[in-house]
Amino acid sequence: MAIKKNVPSPRPTLRRRSRKPLTVTGSSVVKTHPIREDCSLPMVIEPAVDGLDPLRWGSHEKATIEKLVQGHGAVLFRGFPISSAEEFHSFVSAISGEPLTYTERSSPRHAVGENIYTSTDHPQDQEIFPHNEHSYKQIFPLRLSFYCHRQPDSGGATPLTDCRKIYSRIRPEIRQRLEEKGYMYVRNFSRECGLPWETVFQTSDRAEVEDYCKKMDILFEWVEGSRLRTRQIRKVAARHPRNSEPVWFNHLTFFHVTTLEAATRDALLGQFAEEDLPNQTFYGDGSPLEPEVLEHLRSLYREETVRFEWQKGDVLLLDNMLVSHARDAFTGPRRVMVAMTSAVDWQQLTLPS
């Protein structure tokens, strides 16, 4: 499928806050500590000296940052001089690689820079359940970076959940059944509810959509002439490509209609037949997921979720397979941006034994 490309612009550099030369490597220029005494998700890195250049430091310390991310799942950079989408782009590029284009979309977002997007344009009075970005896609980002340009008046946290812990705590009989069957994600595209297919696939050409679906192992059909329905049969777990740890990595719970808050769920079920819902999940063979299975999974996410309060200028780098993320409702203006990096193909992953 043809992907729309942004016209490249000159890459900005972060402003230097001091003319004093600084050593950019080593532990002496930063402080690393848990977010709080009882929790190290995320691990926090803060400058220990004035005038630290984030780009030079980040470029030299990529291996150290990678080790922290793989160990803890997420790192929070706090107190670094980052104040715009352009500076965020430069910092992400230095520590994690070039940001990817947002394709096969599921969340309402808009671009604020070169492959930099709003984290979501979802209504601020609604929570977003924990999920791993694009786990339903054949090719997904291994790294996510969030940047807090403006913190909300209240709420608005980005809760995090360790997917290694979720995997280890699922009841063995449930986990085995789901690993054997996989899950099916059914999606109906319309202009009345959710995103239209033109927005999701970034094209108005049906042939391009069909070609993309064939390449990405997505079953598709055109319903009533112009309405698109897709089915994706995916795995629920995998071994991490860099450390081989088993992780619970899927959208099975997130996209099931019963995970929505009651008013939204009831409104959708009153308007659509189950096969026509904007999003719904099943076992991989198309049979329905039992309510007790879904509630068991939801309870594990709730029990393992941790929170921290955003501060202006924060950058959160997380491993998209090790850690899922969510969003709390909030009041007042909130501006959090996201960049996705390090593409991984599901076909390259091994499954837990």
Distance (Å, whole) CA 313 – CA 330 = 18
- Which residues in 292-313 are b (16+ Cβ under 10 Å) and which e? ebbeebbebbeebbbebebeeb
> What does the pLDDT read at residue 102?
87
Domain membership flag for residue 188? yes
Asked if residues 259 and 216 have their Cβ atoms less than 8 Å apart, the reply is no
Residue 174 lies in domain: 166-300
Distance (Å, whole) CA 98 – CA 104 = 19
Distance (Å, whole) CA 278 – CA 133 = 18
Backbone angles phi, psi at 203, to 5 degrees: -160, 155
> What does the pLDDT read at residue 193?
78
- CB-based burial label for 201 (10 Å; 0-12, 13-18, 19+): buried
> What does the pLDDT read at residue 13?
46
The pLDDT tens digits along the chain (353 residues) read 444 444 444 444 444 443 333 334 455 899 999 999 999 999 999 999 999 999 999 999 999 999 999 999 999 999 999 999 999 999 999 999 999 998 877 777 888 889 999 998 888 999 999 999 999 999 999 999 999 999 999 999 999 999 999 999 999 999 999 999 999 999 999 877 778 899 889 899 999 999 999 999 999 999 987 889 999 999 999 999 999 999 999 999 999 999 999 999 999 999 998 889 999 999 999 999 999 999 999 999 999 999 999 999 999 999 999 999 999 999 999 999 999 999 999 999 999 97
Tokens at 329, concatenated:
């409702």
Domain membership flag for residue 10? no
**In this structure, are 129 and 217 located in the same domain?**
no
Domain membership flag for residue 73? yes
> What does the pLDDT read at residue 187?
95
> What does the pLDDT read at residue 191?
77
| Tally of residues, the chain | 353
Q: Where are the alpha helices (DSSP H) in 106-150?
A: none
Distance (Å, whole) CA 296 – CA 217 = 29
Identify the CATH number of the domain in which residue 209 sits. Answer: 3.60.130.10
**In this structure, are 132 and 75 located in the same domain?**
yes
H or E element: which one contains 112?
Answer: strand 111-113
Cis, peptide link before residue 123, omega less than 30° from 0: no
**In this structure, are 39 and 142 located in the same domain?**
yes
Asked if residues 333 and 219 have their Cβ atoms less than 8 Å apart, the reply is no
**In this structure, are 236 and 253 located in the same domain?**
yes
Q: Coil, strand or helix: which one is 79? A: coil
Amino acid at 322: L
Give the pTM. Answer: 0.89
Cα–Cα distances in Å, from 155 out to 109, 124, 128, 158? 20, 10, 13, 9
**In this structure, are 152 and 170 located in the same domain?**
no
Backbone angles phi, psi at 33, to 5 degrees: -160, 160
Q: Is the dihedral of CA 305, 308, 313, 317 positive or negative?
A: negative
Structural domain count of the chain: 2
> What does the pLDDT read at residue 5?
40
